[in-house]
Amino acid sequence: MQFIRKIKHAFGVIICLTGTAFLCQGQDFDSKVSNEVFQDVKVRYHYGLVVPHHSYMTYFINDFSRGVEVNYGYINYGDDGWQKWYNFPEVGLSFFYNSFGNPDIYGQGMALYPYINFNILRRSRLNISHRVSLGLGYANKPFNLEDNVYNRIFGTHLNVFIGFGLQFNYRIHPKWGITSAVALNHMSNGSSRKPNHGINTMTASLGVSYQFNEQPWKTYQKEKAPRENGRDVVAVLSMGRSQGSVDNPTIYTSGSLNLTHLWHRSAKTAWGAGVDLIYFGAAPFAYIEEVERYDKSDGYQGGVFAAYEVYMGRTSIFMNVGAYVYHQISTPQPVYPRLGIRHQVTNNILANFSIKASFFKAEFIEFGLGYRWNYKKNQR
């Protein structure tokens, strides 16, 4: 239990550092005048549906999903920095409270997460953007053998929150505006505890915004990121813990060591290829319904993968899609994805948070440290 508490604490630290990294990217700018920074607060009421991705969920969902979202965001215009390559997106921090369609079984959830809104259209009064967010979620009624056996969605209070949305903002006054959004949100614990089917909600929202600056939003022509031809080798060692099945309460150690070669295409993106050494300790119980023999070596897997990385200052989002080339126990799918965030702590050392999955089913959450070797400098 002590180890689990440490993992949860580390998870919180990683998310907080990531949020801080997003919010501090504006320091790359030379904000010489106050109107270079636009800050606002948005409050929206959400109403929508719980999406039943397992058939048994339809028997228990008897209500709509309702929630309230509070956002603090800012846009930092300036002469330099990664923001100009994304047409000056809004970054911020949000708190979300919502219900899950059945208060007696699924209860309610809360989430705290950093977000980034990428612009689709921006005018002096109108802004349309799409949101990407990742943070911590909390479910107040997880699975419990004594009094909540029907909740096959959450196995823990603490979860990962992932959100995507399309947002509309219109200023009806120099400081006040109307804001609405369509959002798809997911919350689960990454199989750190079972059950872990997770829950998806799709909602529409409406609310008000308050702008600290009276000036209209600035509009710029999106600036293309400069071409680069740098080469990196990145080595990352990560660890995690996961439960194999509901019937087996044991928590198993998991982790990975991966080596990636990255070819930078521009200052904002890179493509790559790499190799994985994976240890999924819960593999026999996650892959096989009846386990007759179990050995620690059964959890070893090897793979090769393609990688794509997007840079936002010292923070990057990466996605790997791999194929198994070695495994002791047959995997449910021949391919596996990994999605995560990395933050450059120093010029060479990076912090890593990612989710390893089998197809679209999470296997374990991992935290780790890495080393980035830029053996070929960029030549623009």
| Cα of 95 vs its chain's centroid, Å | 15
Confidence (pLDDT) at 319: 95
pLDDT higher at 150 or 96: 96
Question: Which residue type does 329 have?
Answer: I
Confidence (pLDDT) at 55: 76
pLDDT tier at 72, thresholds 50, 70, 90 = very high
Q: Which residues contact 218 (CB under 8 A, 6 or more apart)?
A: 38, 77, 88
Which phi and psi angles does 36 have, rounded to 5°?
-75, -25
- The two tokens of residue 159 are 């979860």
Which stretches of 100-219 are assigned E, i.e. beta strand?
108-122, 126-139, 158-171, 176-188, 199-211
Above 80 in pLDDT, residue 219? no
Q: What is the mean pLDDT of residues 133-162?
A: 89
Which segment, 11-20, 219-228, 320-329, 371-380, is predicted with the most confidence on average? Answer: 320-329
Q: What is the mean pLDDT of residues 321-343?
A: 92
Rounded Cα–Cα distance for residues 213 and 39 (Å): 7
Confidence (pLDDT) at 80: 61
What CATH number does the domain located at 2-211 have?
2.40.160.20
What's the whole-number average pLDDT of the chain? 85
Q: Which of 272, 269, 267, 273 is nearest to 379 (CA)?
A: 267
Above 90 in pLDDT, residue 12? no
Q: Which of 366, 285, 295 is nearest to 332 (CA)?
A: 285
Q: What is the mean pLDDT of residues 224-246?
A: 89
- 2-211 and 231-376 agree in CATH topology: yes
Q: Which of 179, 178, 175 is nearest to 212 (CA)?
A: 175
Confidence (pLDDT) at 13: 43
Q: What is the pLDDT of residues 253-284, one digit of tens each?
A: 999 999 999 999 998 999 999 999 999 988 88
Confidence (pLDDT) at 6: 42
pLDDT tier at 245, thresholds 50, 70, 90 = confident
Confidence (pLDDT) at 250: 84
Above 80 in pLDDT, residue 34? no
**Count of H-run helices and E-run strands, the chain:** 3, 16
Q: What is the mean pLDDT of residues 18-27?
A: 44
Above 60 in pLDDT, residue 8? no
**Can you tell me whether residue 195 is helix, strand or coil?**
coil
Above 50 in pLDDT, residue 21? no
Integer Rg of the chain from CA: 22
User: 12: alpha, beta or left, given left = phi > 0 and alpha = psi -120 to 50?
Assistant: alpha
User: 88: alpha, beta or left, given left = phi > 0 and alpha = psi -120 to 50?
Assistant: left
Above 80 in pLDDT, residue 71? yes
Q: Which CATH architecture fits 231-376?
A: Beta Barrel (2.40)
**How much of the chain exceeds pLDDT 90, in percent?**
54
Ranking 75-84, 240-249, 369-378 by mean pLDDT, the lowest is 75-84
pLDDT tier at 89, thresholds 50, 70, 90 = very high
Domain boundaries, given as residue ranges, for the chain? 2-211, 231-376
DSSP string, 10-59: HHHHHHHHHHHHHHHGGGGS---SGGGEEEEEEEEEEEEEEE--STTHHH
Confidence (pLDDT) at 1: 43
